[in-house]
Structure 1
């Protein structure tokens, strides 16, 4: 059995019902909007985020979820989908998960408006049901994602990212949304409990490991997930490159910075940078940090009684670092 099926097994019924509720949450009086949201629903990804919500809730509530759990999962997926639609416009991407992006099929103006609609639906789903505690968790995540993106853009211009700043960027950009999923799951069944913060931390650690794994794909030989060297072409300072810069003598450091700044579209130069990072031990260093985050996340789970839900979350943590795309 595939690992994804094993993770989903304890929440299969909830995920089926969630898909129906999620689709309903996007309903509109505008036929064009309904056509687009139908297209979005039918090209869904792995659905890791709602899975985190349901597994956390069931772990903390003797295997039971409630309507707030479904709303929390729907809100996080609405917000996440909106951010992806907007990202594709900003990045001028024409594909997403192997399908044409919304902006490719319906142009930028419609894509931006669809993203805005999804954001508003997410907010209203919480407000209309009085889920203000859930709304606060989501709103903090949205603020941090925006701050993380802007911090990365600011730092990319000067290429002066330290390891600490890198961790702050990925914490805000990637980890904060997974942290929100887990704290939402906890908050939906155990409001005002210490579990909300515990699982926020757990999700954050998973998200940190997830992003470092993504960074490592950029140095892979078999072009999994995204084309090799794309982060360098986009002047993104990832952990393997930051480590290589820190280890380099002043001459090599100058060459690396010059390569990323001025020769990032030159395929031969990008290959040379990748080779330099590998030779300097950048990949091993990033892998060791990724494993530290993974092990910290597993330690948090170990403090809870063993159950199918805990085991599924442990599988999820391991999947984050073992995945092939």
Structure 2
């Protein structure tokens, strides 16, 4: 199933949201409007707004507050992406030039600041303080997760518990905030908002493990991908393989990742090591475990088109091809 099929129950709401989101980014500065227009034209699959709207529908109904919650998530998340590209010195985002590639770092940082301020303004003007807290907490966790990764993960020799803490903060916190914001916008109780936050966290972790697995595939010309390995990021399949290896082999593989992962032959050696150690099957097993935990949370809600939509989004997360 593709996302266009999944979003059908909320297609009208998503179309209306896109118009509201564009309006929320408008300014009186022509340069800023050109850049935000460029950002909007190259937005992703709408997965974050879908989580917000489906969660709201499940927990009481879609309201005007739901639109603001989805816009707040998108504004603050887009701000972090613009800043991340500057930090990472990255000139590409989803196959297109990044903002800093086209307008340089100084302007990119200011654009990120502007988007952040628009999110804050949208919340305060409409007294959406509960939504602001939910999403601000997620942005804080995303920043902490990035710093935790820089501090610990790049040492290679880490435990699964540290890995899960990193991805819980870096990736899962955002999807978690989408589901919590959707529930809160529908007037759900504190307990239900927390339940949906937990649901989103399970999906976010499964989503990241799926991304980990993609790294061990091949690219369009048949070469091993290994992008994370080249960047010396330690992912779940590699952690499992290193923990299973004896000391000499573990030391050898860590040395290859640290010093030779840009060599295609060495990269293939690392990927083969992970595959032969059962790292991919173990990671897939953990991904499905988190998926099942998410399904278990949804089981407590009555059947509806919104529940089905969330179930399909969960499946899409673990079955997607890219």
Query: Which TM class, normalised by the smaller chain length?
Result: over 0.9
Query: Structure 2 CA distance, aligned partners of 1:146 and 1:35?
Result: 28
Give the equivalent residue in structure 1 for 2:210: 213
Give the equivalent residue in structure 1 for 2:273: 276
Deviation for aligned residue 1:289: 0.1
Query: Structure 2 CA distance, aligned partners of 1:266 and 1:44?
Result: 33
**Judging changes above 3 Å, is the alpha-carbon distance between structure 1 residues 283 and 175 closer, same or farther for their aligned structure 2 residues?**
same
Give the equivalent residue in structure 2 for 1:179: 176
TM-score by length of 2: 0.97
**Where in structure 2 are the equivalents of 1:25-174 lying within 5 Å?**
25-61=24-60, 64-174=61-171
1:194 aligned counterpart, secondary structure: helix
Query: Structure 2 CA distance, aligned partners of 1:195 and 1:9?
Result: 25
Task: List runs of 5+ in structure 2 lacking aligned partners.
Answer: none
Query: Structure 2 CA distance, aligned partners of 1:313 and 1:3?
Result: 13
1:307 aligns with 2:304: yes
2:7 aligned counterpart, secondary structure: helix
Query: Structure 1 CA distance, aligned partners of 2:220 and 2:268?
Result: 13
**Comparing 166-175 and 103-112, the one that deviates more:** 103-112
TM-score by length of 1: 0.96
2:152 aligned counterpart, secondary structure: helix
Query: Structure 1 CA distance, aligned partners of 2:284 and 2:154?
Result: 26
Deviation for aligned residue 1:222: 4.3
**Judging changes above 3 Å, is the alpha-carbon distance between structure 1 residues 227 and 22 closer, same or farther for their aligned structure 2 residues?**
farther
Give the equivalent residue in structure 1 for 2:255: 258
Query: Structure 2 CA distance, aligned partners of 1:263 and 1:223?
Result: 22
1:287 pairs, out of 272, 284, 289, with 284
Task: List runs of 5+ in structure 1 lacking aligned partners.
Answer: none
1:14 aligns with 2:10: no
Query: Structure 2 CA distance, aligned partners of 1:128 and 1:216?
Result: 42
How many residue pairs get matched? 321
Alpha-carbon displacement from aligned partner over 1:297-321 (angstroms, at most 9, x marks no partner): 0111111111111111000000000
**Comparing 188-197 and 31-40, the one that deviates more:** 188-197
Deviation for aligned residue 1:3: 2.2
Deviation for aligned residue 1:267: 2.1
CA RMSD of aligned residues (A): 1.4
Contact 1:53 1:184 in 2 (8 A): yes
Query: Structure 1 CA distance, aligned partners of 2:167 and 2:206?
Result: 10
Query: Structure 2 CA distance, aligned partners of 1:96 and 1:157?
Result: 23
1:239 pairs, out of 236, 241, 251, with 236
**Where in structure 2 are the equivalents of 1:216-231 lying within 5 Å?**
216-222=213-219, 228-231=225-228
